[in-house]
Amino acid sequence: MARVTIEDVALEAGLSVATVDRVLNGRAAVRPQTALRVEKAIRLLNYQPDRLAARLAKGQEYRFCFVLPEGNNSFMIELGEEVRANASRMVSERVHIDLRLTDVFDAATLAATLDSIGDIYDGVAVVALDHPRVREAINGLVERGVSVVTLVSDVPSSKRSHYAGIDNSSAGRTAATLMGRYLGNKNGKVGLIAGSLSLRDHIERRFGFEQVMLHEFPHLSILPVLESRDDWQRVEKVTAQMLADHPDLIGIYNVGAGARGIVTALENAGRQKQVTYIAHELTDYTRRALVDGTVDVIINQNAGHEVRSAVRVLMAKADRTPLIEAMEHIRIDIFVRDNLP
């Protein structure tokens, strides 16, 4: 099939090429109804602007930065690998992507990292703490002309352009439904472990989980949530203490990372077959634990899709082209040992 051109979009939208060009490149204000007609035509025709040609013509290069957590979180390490892979691919399109690691659990440190970026980048993607200092740092970047995408964990009250991640409330509700179904009519306690209750993704997962558990499975008692900063050694300690304090513990939902710590604590206590364990993110370690039967269910988000989505959004903002929202929806995957990819 021939490549769809801007003339095809104009014909489909019933507008002039000049008007479509203004919408695509933000050259002048147009009525919202006109922009919607252009966006509808773009989606219908699957129009893909030749961004590289446009940048070459203008002598433009883009610079993006991803800010991710430091530490031993397996999923975040995978996210970093995806950033590096995308950075290699995007060089040929005159797009340069840097990666910075910082302590995202500390608001002052994360805010300082974002403040230090200045205006040398066209766009920033960040795994963000939902905290006033971080919100103001994001807003400061936007005011300096830097587009910001929140990744994995959102700060919706900020001026960020887009959130690339799953619906975490839905993820928590899904975990609760699965936990209740797995445990059936058993009576006992269910433990919750989070990395930080300042991370919005962890807050939303906890809220969704407790909402369903309290209304749908009232015979199960939910223990107070424990925080671990997503460090597997801390996770092991709090899990071991939980197991010691509650012999009637029959379920664990880990809303964050550190799966290795829970697996180790369960195996050391000899209770890996007695406690239903629902984890997040399919990594090499959680895959093995799922196959072995220590982990019962994994709720996953695709790291590669999230990074590619963030890059697409930042590219669209830099090129001033409309987003195709359907492409940027990050789905929730549910894995048991029988449907592993």
Q: How far apart are the two ends of the chain, measured CA to CA in Å?
A: 33
> Residue 160: helix, strand or coil by DSSP?
coil
Nearest to 63 by CA among 106, 117, 116: 117
CATH of 168-300, one of 3.40.50.2300, 3.40.190.10, 3.40.50.300, 3.90.420.10: 3.40.50.2300
pLDDT of residue 91: 86
Residue type, 180: G
Q: Do 290 and 264 form a contact (C-beta atoms < 8 A)?
A: no
Nearest to 50 by CA among 324, 315, 286: 315
Whole-number Å distance between alpha carbons of 323 and 331 = 18
Whole-number Å distance between alpha carbons of 98 and 85 = 11
| Domain parsing of the chain, residue ranges | 6-48, 60-165+306-323, 168-300
β-strands 188-194, 249-254: how paired?
parallel
Nearest to 75 by CA among 228, 323, 326, 257: 257
Residue type, 294: T
E strand map for 18-137: 62-69, 95-102, 123-126
pLDDT of residue 55: 56
Whole-number Å distance between alpha carbons of 61 and 120 = 12
pLDDT of residue 207: 97
Q: Do 250 and 223 form a contact (C-beta atoms < 8 A)?
A: no
Whole-number Å distance between alpha carbons of 234 and 276 = 20
Common-topology check for domains 60-165+306-323 and 168-300: yes
Whole-number Å distance between alpha carbons of 172 and 184 = 18
Who contacts 23 (Cβ-Cβ below 8 Å, separation ≥6)?
30, 34, 35, 38, 39, 322
- Running along the chain, 341 residues long, what does each successive block of 10 average in pLDDT? 79 90 71 86 79 57 95 93 95 90 96 92 96 97 96 96 97 98 97 94 97 97 95 96 97 96 97 97 95 97 96 89 79 96 92
Nearest to 90 by CA among 61, 54, 57: 61
pLDDT of residue 32: 82
Give pTM, 2 decimals: 0.82
pLDDT of residue 1: 52
Q: Do 261 and 290 form a contact (C-beta atoms < 8 A)?
A: no
Whole-number Å distance between alpha carbons of 73 and 78 = 9
CATH topology of domain 6-48: 434 Repressor (Amino-terminal Domain) (1.10.260)
Find out if CATH 3.30.565.10 is the number for domain 60-165+306-323: no
Q: Which residues of 42-62 are buried (b: 16+ CB within 10 A; e: fewer)?
A: beeeebebebeeebeeeeeeb
What's the Cα-to-Cα distance from 87 to each of 21, 56, 99, 304, rounded to whole Å?
29, 19, 9, 12
pLDDT of residue 181: 97
Helix H or strand E encompassing 163: strand 162-164
